Amino acid sequence: MAVYNKVETREAPSNSKGMVYWLRANLFSTPLNSAMTILGIAFLFWVIPPFIKWSIIDANFAGSTRADCTGDGACWVFVRAKMDMFMYGFYPEVERWRIHLTYALFFVVIASFKYLKQAMPKIIIAIIYFIIAFILIRGGFFGLETIDTNKWGGLMLTIVVSSVGIVCSFPLGIILAFGRASKLPIIKSVSVTYIEFIRGVPLITILFMSSVILPLFFPEGVTFDKLLRALIGITLFQAAYIAEVIRGGLQSIPSGQYEAADAVGLSYWQKMLLVILPQALKVAIPNLVGSFIALFQDTTLVLIIGLFDLLAMVQVTGSDSHWLGFETEGYVFVTLIFWVFCYSMSVYSKSLEKRFNTNLK
């Protein structure tokens, strides 16, 4: 019988733990790191105190007119006065309950996903939700007043553009990724040509093409909604990037998974959709969410084709003769909103990674 000597546990040396050790190891480990740390702290002291003084200490929060903005601090009264335009654009005030109901239904759908295990019911519910959301916001059915898209704006328009772009580009990106990985020369060539062409052209060019050139392909007299043109352009643009992200996930799957799927007699589509794609999507979650965040930020480019999203509303409200000179407050407010949405997507991405993590610890 083997005899093991009992080893007495000892505490870590005092010089290898605590705050002093962490600072020394992470911020002052080398002369260069020490210099960069000092410069960073100096920069923060140079920027943060004046910003806090301007945005909070000397700021004006109460009131409803320009006369209530006194001193050199920020005038958040401007943001309060223009909040409706930031949130809804030119959407009629009496019909804004439809937008609120759309938001509420979205959270109901997200909550229902927690109790649904199968993918197909989730897809069906999502499709039904988008149909209901379109009917509510656009109107024209069930006695609802029709609200033209030229009245849509602000955060509501930003959410609509980004949501449609994400939902529509995702399945198209999967198809393109499968096409690029295909062994059929024609399908692979078409997919590669499309992906490389789109990735070589900036989004602003795609938006101009969809706004100006796309209507030329339709018969004379056929009107084509400006917002729909932008949605098509954004979807086609984003699908190319989604395809590359998913292709990277497909390449990360070991060849043994393909061979195992073939060994049990699965067809090509059963193998790809039931075995390979779920694993590839799990691997690609961080990059997919990164692409979705980039798309949410890129929606601000719709301003160039005459759509008034959240960022464009800062320019519109700042041109009001009664509020000239307060664009800075509007841009700070918009920056905060974008940060909240992007950070929320990032946090949700991390939760998805943990949820679908099947690696043994």
Residues 6 or more apart from 70 whose CB is under 8 A from it?
Answer: 60
**CATH of range 76-91+147-355; options 1.10.3720.10, 3.30.1330.60, 3.40.50.2000, 3.30.950.10:** 1.10.3720.10
Tokens of 232: 């098509």
- Mean pLDDT computed over every residue of the chain: 84
Give me the long-range contacts of 141-144 (CB less than 8 A, separation at least 24).
144/98
Q: Which pLDDT score, from 0 to 100, does residue 274 have?
A: 82
Confidence of residue 14 (pLDDT cuts 50, 70, 90): low
Is the pLDDT at 357 greater than 60, yes or no? Answer: yes
Give me the long-range contacts of 101-109 (CB less than 8 A, separation at least 24).
101/136, 102/132, 102/133, 102/136, 102/137, 105/129, 105/132, 105/133, 106/133
Report d(CA 84, CA 235) in Å as an integer. 28
- The DSSP secondary-structure symbol of 18 reads S
Segment 316-327, tens digit of pLDDT: 888 877 877 778
Q: Which of 307, 182, 298, 180 is nearest to 246 (CA)?
A: 180
Mean pLDDT of 306-322: 84
Terminal C-alpha separation, the chain: 32
Question: Contact at 8 Å (CB) between 147 and 91?
Answer: yes
- The DSSP secondary-structure symbol of 216 reads G
Is the pLDDT at 17 greater than 80, yes or no? Answer: no
Report d(CA 303, CA 350) in Å as an integer. 32
- Alpha-carbon separation of residue 83 from 89, 97, 152, 333, 334 (angstroms): 9, 16, 15, 10, 11
| Residue type (1 letter), 276 | I
Q: What is the pTM of this model?
A: 0.83
Tokens of 1: 């019988």
Q: Which pLDDT score, from 0 to 100, does residue 253 have?
A: 83
Tokens of 81: 């006065």
Confidence of residue 361 (pLDDT cuts 50, 70, 90): very low
Q: Which pLDDT score, from 0 to 100, does residue 60 have?
A: 82
Q: What are phi and psi of 71, to 5 degrees?
A: 85, -170
Q: Which of 124, 144, 119 is nearest to 134 (CA)?
A: 144
Question: Contact at 8 Å (CB) between 161 and 230?
Answer: yes
Q: Which pLDDT score, from 0 to 100, does residue 240 have?
A: 92
Report d(CA 170, CA 257) in Å as an integer. 24
Q: 219 exposed, middle or buried (CB, 10 Å; 0-12, 13-18, 19+)?
A: exposed
3-state helix, strand, coil in the chain (%, to 5): 75, 0, 25
**Residue keyed to tokens 């804004």:** 96
Report d(CA 11, CA 263) in Å as an integer. 54
Segment 183-233, tens digit of pLDDT: 888 988 999 999 999 988 888 888 888 877 777 777 776 667 788 888 988
Segment 154-197, tens digit of pLDDT: 899 999 999 999 999 999 999 999 888 888 889 889 999 999 99
**What phi-psi label fits residue 142: left (phi over 0), alpha (psi between -120 and 50 degrees) or beta?**
left
Question: Contact at 8 Å (CB) between 175 and 241?
Answer: no
More confident residue, 28 or 129: 129
- Alpha-carbon separation of residue 139 from 135, 174, 322 (angstroms): 5, 32, 33
